Amino acid sequence: MPSNKLKSVDFEVHGDVQGVFFRKYTRDTARAHSCVGSVSNTYRGTVIGVVQGLPENVEFMKRWLQTTGSPMSDIEKCVFTNEREITALQYQSFKIR
């Protein structure tokens, strides 16, 4: 039985992740797994964001960000920071910034 606890994690994806619809696929996958947060490109050529939701859904997104991404992306690594339990979601949906 899933717990009612919520989880939040920040991420930065390195590799060939800009210009390959990475943000769109991240948004669509997060929404399909009932996660909220945001995703954006950086000037360093990486993609950063935050994912929030039920722990099992956030864990799914972490695996997806590390191994799958968009079909044309080439992920070198994904760094997760600020992983924590939260009491309420800080976003209403998952948005591209």
Catalytic machinery residues: 23, 41
Four-residue CA torsion sign, 80, 56, 41, 46: positive
Q: Which residues make Cβ contacts (< 8 Å) with residue 92, sequence separation at least 6?
A: 36
